[in-house]
Structure 1
Amino acid sequence: MTTPPSAGSSSDHPPPLDATPARALGDFIRAHRERLSPQAVGLPPGPRRRTPGLRREEVAQLCGVSPTWYTWIEQGRPVSASADALARIAVALQLSRAERAYLFELAAQRDPAEPDPTAADAPATLLETVQLVNAPAYVLDRQWNALAWNGRAADLFVGWLDGTHDRNLLRYTFTEPAARELIVDWEIRARRLAAEFRADSIRHLSDAPTRGLIDSLAAASDAFARFWASQDVGGREGGRREFNHPREGRVVYDQITFKPAHREDLKLVVLVRE
């Protein structure tokens, strides 16, 4: 975090305004400051206020930062903001999980509350959970590789979780002919899957494994390249999933996805048969 110069120094003049993402960051922070009441953070309402919400000085006090530095950040001036300072701002402004993620994206910083991207080991209890579920269940990592699955999932996902196939859900969907046969309304589901992965991967698009996966899929699948280029973004949704199973015929499931509290880069997916 950059400390503002002291009064009377030769650097008293603030940095010039910059019409860059810094401005978007400042606008976002200011909007959330203005919608937060003093009572919501345990402060007395005090005398009549000229501006809505909290004052800048109050937020700075809550964050433990200089009022001048906070003002410059809000004004979109080109001053640096550490991940720790951003985390304190997120807490002070009572941002939701999605708002906090957006804040860090605007600042091009990694949220210190996120799991370590180098932590490759999934919790053993999570991997063991799939064996306790009496329905198709599997665990995905941040590139959507299957880390664990049960027998029912292997029986359902022909060409993916059975045998010795590539365990990546996206590669299976877009490059395996068996997926087009299995998944009902493949075009719709595949487009949706690409949009969900775009939303899910935004925080680690610069990671080499994620970038490599996207590039290889775009080269191997015209459909993926087209869907990815569309810039569609969609949250991971559950709901009805239909399959044309080679042995069981048409089967219908209701899909639900869970994220562990401390490893939100992982997903436990369960399909309950209707």
Structure 2
Amino acid sequence: MNAEKNSSEPLPETPARALGDFIRTHRERLSPLAVGLPPGPRRRTPGLRREEVAQLCGVSPTWYTWIEQGRPVSASADALARIAVALQLSRAERAYLFELAAQRDPAEPDPAAQDVPAALLQTVGLIGAPAYVLDRQWNALRWNAPAAELFVGWLDGEHDRNLLAYTFTSMAARELIVDWETRARRLAAEFRADSIRHLNDPPTRALIDSLTAASDAFARYWASQDVFEREGGERAFQHPVRGRIVFNQITFKPAHREDLKLVILVGSE
């Protein structure tokens, strides 16, 4: 395929096109002198030429051209990292580049290995409604008193704090969650979508394997390959003391720690 021959063909607005536009804009902003190249007497392109960036990145000029043109070609995290260095992107610009490409920056530490922000954990106790924080395997890291009072068999007393294990292996969950089968099926599909980037990490893999062995329902729902975004909305519970209670669930992801979730259940009017 001839990259230059097809360069005039209009491309639809896609994530690949947004990635290409971002890279092209930053290439045009970078002067040859900034990377140690002579400006040259007959330079028609603003900033660096595509061929120059390709050479700095150690990739083929044709492949780099296709990336800028927004064509559906594969861009590995390693190649994107080399582009980020060649274009001298700032930390924020580099993070934006990897977000556009839906890739994890290999230079960034694994969020799961970092300490949970203390302010996030403290926030849970300041919330009057049931609230809790989940990690990437959906273990509850912190919860407040209203959440402990609501989630019988999970956040009260001494129990396994994993939300999936509670939902699929605890009889208390089946009694508490109204329309358990629908909610459990959706929960498995939401976890599949949420865990896609760390599906083969040992803790995630071990959780899936243990739930598959322990719960026929989880095994069926997981095998269905259903994928749903984790969303808010109405959540109904049949509490052993308070009877039927309805909440609206809201989930927040802290900036720079998207592996964590702050879940709040607001009383329904």
- Pick aligned residue for 1:222 from 212, 216, 221: 216
Alignment length (residue pairs):
228
Question: 2 CA distance for matches of 1:111 and 1:77?
Answer: 15
- Pick aligned residue for 2:159 from 162, 165, 169: 165
- Pick aligned residue for 1:72 from 63, 76, 80: 63
Q: TM-score, normalised by structure 1?
A: 0.70
Distance change >3 Å, CA 33–CA 149, structure 1 → 2 = closer
- Pick aligned residue for 1:84 from 81, 84, 101: 81
Check whether the contact 1:83–1:112 (CA below 8 A) recurs between aligned residues. no
2:204 is the alignment partner of 1:210: yes
Structure 2 match to 1:100: 101
Structure 1 match to 2:266: 272
Residue 66 of structure 1, CA deviation: 4.5
- Pick aligned residue for 1:180 from 160, 174, 179: 174
Residue 244 of structure 1, CA deviation: 0.6
Residue 80 of structure 1, CA deviation: 9.0
Distance change >3 Å, CA 100–CA 60, structure 1 → 2 = farther
Check whether the contact 1:115–1:262 (CA below 8 A) recurs between aligned residues. no
- Pick aligned residue for 2:231 from 228, 237, 248: 237
Structure 1 match to 2:141: 147
Residue 149 of structure 1, CA deviation: 0.3
The percent of aligned pairs where both chains have the same amino acid is 60
Check whether the contact 2:57–2:79 (CA below 8 A) recurs between aligned residues. no
Question: 1 CA distance for matches of 2:141 and 2:182?
Answer: 26
Question: 1 CA distance for matches of 2:83 and 2:173?
Answer: 43
Distance change >3 Å, CA 85–CA 235, structure 1 → 2 = farther
Question: 1 CA distance for matches of 2:80 and 2:231?
Answer: 30
Q: CA RMSD in A?
A: 3.7
The C-alpha deviation readout for 1:176-229, integer Å capped at 9, x for no partner, is: 011111111111111111111111111111211000001100111111111111
Check whether the contact 2:132–2:262 (CA below 8 A) recurs between aligned residues. yes
Question: 1 CA distance for matches of 2:128 and 2:51?
Answer: 51
Question: 2 CA distance for matches of 1:231 and 1:121?
Answer: 32
Check whether the contact 1:142–1:265 (CA below 8 A) recurs between aligned residues. yes
| Runs of 4+ residues deviating >3 angstroms | 28-38, 40-44, 57-68, 72-83, 86-92, 94-97, 112-115
Structure 2 match to 1:200: 194
Check whether the contact 1:72–1:79 (CA below 8 A) recurs between aligned residues. no
**Structure 2 unpaired stretches of 5+:** 1-13, 30-44, 68-72
Question: 2 CA distance for matches of 1:165 and 1:32?
Answer: 46
Question: 2 CA distance for matches of 1:123 and 1:254?
Answer: 26
**Structure 1 unpaired stretches of 5+:** 1-27, 45-53, 105-109
SS in structure 1 opposite 2:245? strand
